[in-house]
Structure 1
Amino acid sequence: MDRVEGTSEPHREWKTIFVTGGAGYIGSHCILTLLEAGYTVVTVDNFTNAVGIVKDGHSCVAPSIQRVEQITGKKVIFHHCDLLDKKKLSEVFAEQKIDCVIHFAAMKAVGESMQVPFLYYKNNIMGTINLLEVMAENNCHEFVFSSSCTVYGDPGDALPITEEHPTGGVTNVYGRTKFFIEEMLKDIYNADKRWNIVLLRYFNPVGAHPSGIIGEDPTKPFANLMPYMAQVAIGTKPSLTIFGTDYETEDGTGVRDYIHIMDLAEGHVAALSKLKREPSLGLKAYNLGTGKGVTVLQLVHTFERVTGTTLTLDLKDRREGDIVAMYADPSLAEKELGWTAKRSIEEMCRDFWKWQTQNPTGYRGDVSHMIPAAKSNLSESATVSLTNGNHSAVNGH
């Protein structure tokens, strides 16, 4: 991809980072690492994929952000804002001198994206266009995009997968929105070299902050493996459905690259450092994964061993479109960002279990006080694919 090589220009001092989708899973953990790294954070969320609570009968607060403040002892500037509301987004953006934007906000469920494609294209792509326009209007051209390994499609035997692997050929609407946004960002950079863009292609984030104070709290039917496992383990779900046990893998189940959420969050701080060091970086993509493939059953059995629980499994036939294996070659991120995934599968399971047992109902508390947009997304049942687990995108991933 086109880019301008790094220069020896002085290291830039940045203070304020604008984070979209900050109330969600990945966003909240990333904000915590940003605060710990000394940044000021301004964040927005519309609570499509994150819990929002009504306060004083009118204003909305994000409990995940409040807990981040509790852990760090630092304040976050939060606004309840939808990226489709460009006027409000402009007003929020204009209140601060923003140095860089990290863009998480997106609708995230693969299955849902196939049922309501218009909604996904409008929210994910139009929201991103609004954001980029507002950035340009405020002379901000530093951008980190929350992308996904889904942009690679089915890698076949090309594993581990590098950033040079062709993108496209994506089999679901959610993944296509990520791919289309990447292509749009390439075009924007080629047209205007003031832009400095890092594409972070996530593999499969799991786990929680080791304190157990923040974690993953899906507001829609569970589509990610670990929250579903934990719900079965604590008895709020009857069994864990696994689609496909006859793949050509060690135990017949699909292989994925699971990465601890804190490793992923630290990857964003590393990306910011790269942008600061190289003002003429241009546009560059990096895989954020461990480089190790783990089968679904291996993760399940590790979770059982670490938590001392036994999960009831419902084994079903594979589904059309599910891929056999996907795991990263993260060597470019290690070489150029100085970043590697350090935490083990056992830590992922232990930290998530601590979050789940300390917060059996997540952030929700009394749902009668949730804002309507979030409350309407709650569901008590779901069918989940545990073999096609590409990263959850998030309006707060």
Structure 2
Amino acid sequence: MNILLTGGMGYIGSHTAALLASAGHRVHIYDNLCNSNIGTLDRIQKIASQVIGFTEGDVRDTEKLTKVLRDEKIDAVIHLSGLKAVGESSQKPIEYYANNVQGSISLIQAMQAVGINTLVFSSSATVYGDPVYLPYDEDHPTNPTNPYGRNKLQVEEILRDLSASDSSWRIGCLRYFNPVGAHETGLIGEDPNGIPNNLMPVIGQVVNGKLPLLNIFGDDYETHDGTGKRDYIHVMDLAEGHLATLIWLQSNLGCHTFNLGTGSSYSVLDLLNRFEEASGQKIPRQVVERRPGDLPEYYAKADKAEKVLGWKTKKTLSDICNSSWLWIKNSKKS
């Protein structure tokens, strides 16, 4: 297949691009580089041993996007572009709606103009909000508690309306849990611009001397060690989920939702301790107040993805930490 990845230079996008290209698909990346680096392209190409097409552009530029879809003879789109910091979304809600919702509408319009009807959408577990029950399954009520989560849910609703209005569409909405880890080569990993919001890149910046210590937000939750527990999924397992969804959509119409998670949870200290074992590094830390809105625990029920897509996670917490450490070491050298 000829596949366009919007936001394909980012963390999840770069790993998905490397996997798809290595599996024999032709990949073209469309990205405005607002939270990524052009140097990532060379590293993806090194992993895949082939040229990866790239266009710098904003997903809201419908005309430019339409031209790329047509010129590159795209068969299917994986839509990963968007702003993604939960806290920032509350500070800049209009910017988030403009990028994430307006950008998705622009992409749909471009696809309609060219006659492409296969789409995998990068959604999020944040659409669920506070748990009514755990683990979250796809039937759990959706009640996002921040603009970022509402962005994702609104795009899902737009896609369901689109599918209901035009039965030729093949759409997969993938609700991610907590992506972590890096490619086994250590050539690509999570490398956000500015101060990171996620746990593993913060650990990386502490190791590399960019931050003095790691803040642990609360140690008084009702968990085995007092720190919050999350469903950490290796980014390459997540990439495999995109490929499995694309393959399945080739013979299935409609709009479908899948959780991509491990079905279990680890605490902040579980991850931190395992990383220290993998790296031999002691990570300076301090406990600070809980962040508003943080939950004691959440994790996925991913049975539907296994049953329908034939996908399930393979990587362990050790795999996550070993690959992250290799990436962090390589980043320190560069």
- TM-score, with normalisation over the residues of structure 2? 0.97
Query: Unaligned stretches of 5+ in structure 2?
Result: none
* CA–CA separation in structure 1 for the residues paired with 2:72 and 2:282: 50
Check conservation: 1:246, 1:253, Cα contact below 8 A. yes
| Map of 2:10 onto structure 1 | 24
Q: What residue identity is the alignment partner of 1:172?
A: N
Q: Output the CA distance in 2 between the equivalents of 1:93 and 1:344.
A: 37
Deviation at 1:233, TM superposition (A): 2.4
Q: Quick check: 1:300 aligned with 2:275?
A: no
Amino acid at match of 2:138: E
Query: Partner of 1:110 in structure 2?
Result: 86
Secondary structure of 1:360's partner? Answer: helix
Matched residue type, 2:249? L
CA-based RMSD of the aligned residues comes to 1.2
- CA shift at 1:295, angstroms? 0.7
Give the 5 Å matches for 1:89-238.
89-156=65-132, 158-167=133-142, 169-238=143-212
> How far apart, CA to CA, are the structure 2 residues paired with 1:195 and 1:320?
39
Residue aligning to 1:249: 223
Gapped runs of 5+ residues in structure 1? 1-14, 52-61, 366-397
Q: Secondary structure at the match of 1:42?
A: strand
The range that moved more, 334-343 or 64-73, is: 64-73
Q: Secondary structure at the match of 1:105?
A: coil
Residues 162-203 of structure 1: CA distance to partner in whole angstroms, max 9, x if unpaired?
111111x21111111101111111111111111111011100
RCO comparison, higher one (Cα < 8 Å, 6+): 1
Q: Secondary structure at the match of 1:326?
A: coil
- What code does the residue aligned with 1:111 have? G
Q: Deviations over 1:287-341 (max 9, x none)?
A: 1111111111111111111111111111012233211111011111111111110
- The one-letter code of the counterpart of 1:355 is W
Alpha-carbon displacement from aligned partner over 1:241-278 (angstroms, at most 9, x marks no partner): 01111111111111100011111001111001101132
Q: Residue 67 of structure 1 is aligned with which of 27, 32, 43?
A: 43
Equivalent residues in 2 for 1:246-395, closer than 5 Å: 246-278=220-252, 280=253, 282-360=254-332
Output one character per residue of 1:321-377: Cα deviation in whole Å (capped at 9) or x when no partner: 21111101111111111111001111101101101111127xxx6xxxxxxxxxxxx
Shift of 1:235: 2.7
* Alpha-carbon separation, structure 1, partners of 2:176 and 2:44: 22
Q: Which amino acid aligns with 1:193?
A: S
Contact 1:37/1:269 (<8 A) preserved: no
> What amino acid is aligned across from residue 294 of structure 2 in structure 1?
D
Instruction: Provide the rounded CA distance (Å) in 2 between the counterparts of 1:217 and 1:321.
Output: 25
Task: Find the residue that maps to 1:359 and give its secondary structure.
Answer: helix
Q: Which whole-Å deviations, capped at 9, do the CAs of 1:53-83 have from their partners, x for residues lacking one?
A: xxxxxxxxx2112111111111111100111
Q: What does residue range 39-58 of structure 1 map to in structure 2 within 5 Å?
A: 39-51=25-37
Q: Which residue of 2 aligns with 1:384?
A: none
Q: Is residue 118–residue 249 contact of structure 2 (8 Å, CA) maintained in 1?
A: yes
Match of 1:370 in 2: none
* Identical counterparts, % of pairs: 47
Runs of 4+ with >4 A deviation = none
What one-letter code is carried by the residue in structure 1 that aligns with 2:66? S
Distance in 1 (alpha carbons) for counterparts of 2:221 and 2:5: 39
1-side partners of 2:71 and 2:332: how far apart?
37
Query: What secondary structure sits across from 1:325 in the alignment?
Result: coil
Could you tell me the TM-score, scaled by structure 1's length? 0.82
